[in-house]
A and B are shown apart, each in its own frame.
Chain A
Amino acid sequence: MKTENQKAWFFVLPVLILVAFNALVPLMTVVNYSVQETFGNNQFFWEGLGWFEQILRSERFHASLGRQFFFTFMILIIEVPLGIAIALAMPRRGFWVPVCLVLMALPMLIPWNVVGSMWNIFTLPRIGLLGYFLNDVLGIHYDMTQQPVAAWITIIVMDVWHWTSLVVLLCYAGLVSIPDAYYQAAKIDGASNWKVFRYIQLPKMKTVLTIAILLRFMDSFNIYTEPFVLTGGGPGNSTTLLSIDLVKIALGQFDLGPAAAMSLIYFAITLFVSWLFYTLMTKDDQE
């Protein structure tokens, strides 16, 4: 068996090299930084697990991690049900299918920093269309440069606008793969629309939904560009997510050691939550 598979390594090799330079080498560099202290000039001093201890106890870290979790939680709780609802409402066949699909894909095609600037301008009072409408037409005071709540609402709405399509498209793919016979059988069995959703559509969408939630979790948990362009973490620190804080420490203050330790903790949390979620979702299938 082995003799035949030798050739395969040859084909996998380029990928291995790529992955090594892409992920492994930078990761090891980060590990290296995380246990040392530097004052510039390429001089490093052994620090052990000191940075990790310091970060895990730091209130600033707790606060930005909390905000990160809050953000992810909010967008998942909005995007997943909304995505499913839109997917259910989309036509399954006919002329409108490609139109809907293209419309859905549009927001995802816009570069992330452009999305940030777009929403920034869109919601600014007086300048932006939405800002103008809210402040001057409806008379609601809405200014994300001043109000933390307005800033939060804007970030979340922006992400929902940008990424709900992903959930929609994945769910839609799951839905169209359900054979007609299932719907016919359910009709004959006298099932209500809710039961059709609960016992046919949802179970058949489970796999794609798992993937959608995983992707949305990882993306939103690591989100940086859009909120940075939109609010820069403000007003004050109110929208400073973990990722924004990390960049501030690493590049703004050039504290490579703590930043590296923080990255690793960040990485570990993402990995752990993803693993936990995936295991829970697929547990049923294996019993």
Chain B
Amino acid sequence: MAKITLSKLRHSYVPDPQPDDYALKEIDHVWDDGGAYALLGPSGCGKSTLLNIISGLLQPSEGRILFDETDVTDLPPAKRNIAQVFQFPVIYDTMSVYDNLAFPLRNRGRPEDVVKARVTAIAEMLEVTSMLKTRAAHLTPDNKQKISMGRGLVREDVNVVMFDEPLTVIDPHLKWKLRSKLKELHQRVRATMIYVTHDQTEALTFADQVVVMDLGVIVQIGTPVDLFERPAHTFVGHFIGSPGMNVLPAELRDGGAFFVGRPVPLEGRIVKTGTLAQIGVRPEYVSLADQGLEAVVTKVADLGRHILVETRAGDTKVAAIIQGDAPAKGETVHLDFRRDQTRLYLDGWLATEAETRE
């Protein structure tokens, strides 16, 4: 297990890059030993590039990577003591499940009794003991993926285990099981794990700390709660949560924010300056009230646990998640934003400060 330091990392897939050519723009970050981390972002945000740089499959254009205090930037993947689980399960078809799990250990010349003890323990954890003698080619996709994970966890000396969208080919109802399994595994083996995904649920469920990336830049690093409760950027607000945060065009005057001509109370005072002003409030914190902002209901979806109401205020779409009785489509309603969850964003970045509670 190791601490991972990324120092001034930059990467471009083209030679002699211009500033816009970087798939990964200057990243400086430290991942602590034994943590569970997620890299979250849409396709093309640079998360896979970063992952491949850490695993050594890709040489960064600039910057260094350190495992603990050792510089591994120039080491090939096999020398880095890492494990990686890919999007599509990689298994050795002709081998049995046991041999698959034993493969990384045997390649490193471990004695057979050590191999046996490790494989048995990992198989137990993954609940695949009954399949040890089966040929790996005959397994279902989720079991194949479990075996790929097992090959990563079987080595006692791995610095970091990386997951590259590992649940892509897994059925939704099994995804849920594997997700819990993975979390449980982390709690048991305490290896540093990095999980790359575009799926917020997977990221928030798995990680203690989530790194949100967009366009090659880290937008926010925080706990799942932070990201949900206080998005540092409108992108994070939009990307996390389903549906994402309402981002409403705002007007700044007299030291306050206005939306469709009405003043909107914010969580606290505005501490930054900027040109493009937007109000961010999650649908979870928008409720229907007797008075206040007028809006017309455009869509109602009964989601069982709660109701998703989409409205139009002026020309802007505002979503609300409510409990209880649903309004009818076309009805005019009044919206209320919970004050301590209503924030101002300037040029995309959070510009208000939460009021400290007395």
Contacts and interface: CB of A to CB of B under 8 A. Distances in A.
Contacts of A199: 92, 94-95, 103
Given A187-B78, A190-B78, A181 B103 contact: no
Contacts of A181: 86-88, 90
Given A189-B107, A190-B104, A191-B103, A184 B57 contact: yes
Most buried by A among B77, B88, B92, B108: B92
Interface string B73-98: 00011100011101110101111000
A252 interface: no
B318 to A, nearest CB: 43
B93 A188 contact: no
Interface in A141-196: 179, 181-182, 184-185, 187-192, 195
Most buried by A among B76, B86, B88, B148: B86
A186 B88 CA distance: 14
A191 B100 CA distance: 12
A191 B107 contact: yes
Contacts of B88: 179, 181
Interface in A64-93: none
Contacts of A182: 90
Nearest to A182: B90
A26 interface: no
A195 B107 contact: yes
B55 A188 contact: yes
A188 B148 contact: no
Nearest to A192: B107
Contacts of A98: none
A189 B151 contact: yes
Contacts of B78: 187-188, 190
B72 to A, nearest CB: 13
What is the interface residue range for chain A against chain B? 10 to 19
Nearest to B93: A203
Interface in B234-261: none
A181 B84 CA distance: 10
B86 A189 contact: no
Contacts of A190: 78, 104, 107-108
A287 to B, nearest CB: 8
A208 interface: no
What is the interface residue range for chain B against chain A? 20 to 34
A184 B84 contact: yes
Contacts of A184: 55, 57, 77, 84, 86
A264 interface: no
A185 to B, nearest CB: 4
Interface in A203-218: 203-204
A200 interface: yes
A188 B107 contact: no
Contact of B82 (A179, A188, A195, A203): A188
A113 to B, nearest CB: 43
Contacts of A185: 84, 86, 90, 148, 151
B265 to A, nearest CB: 52
A184 to B, nearest CB: 5
Contacts of B82: 188
A182 B103 CA distance: 14
A181 B78 CA distance: 14
Contacts of B151: 185, 189
A188 B77 contact: yes
A188 B78 CA distance: 5
B247 to A, nearest CB: 37
A260 to B, nearest CB: 45
Contacts of B83: 188
Contacts of B76: 187
B96 to A, nearest CB: 12
A204 B94 CA distance: 10
A189 B104 contact: yes
A78 B66 CA distance: 49
Contacts of A287: 135
Most buried by A among B77, B88, B108, B151: B77
| Interchain residue pairs A-B with the least CB separation, the first 10 | A190-B107, A185-B90, A181-B86, A189-B104, A199-B92, A187-B77, A203-B94, A203-B93, A190-B78, A188-B77
Given A184-B86, A192-B107, 14 more contacts: A181-B87, A181-B88, A181-B90, A184-B84, A185-B90, A185-B148, A187-B77, A188-B77, A188-B83, A189-B104, A189-B151, A191-B103, A199-B95, A203-B94
Interface of B: 55, 57, 76-78, 82-84, 86-88, 90, 92-95, 103-104, 107-108, 135, 148, 151
7 contacts: A181-B87, A181-B90, A187-B57, A188-B84, A189-B103, A190-B107, A203-B94
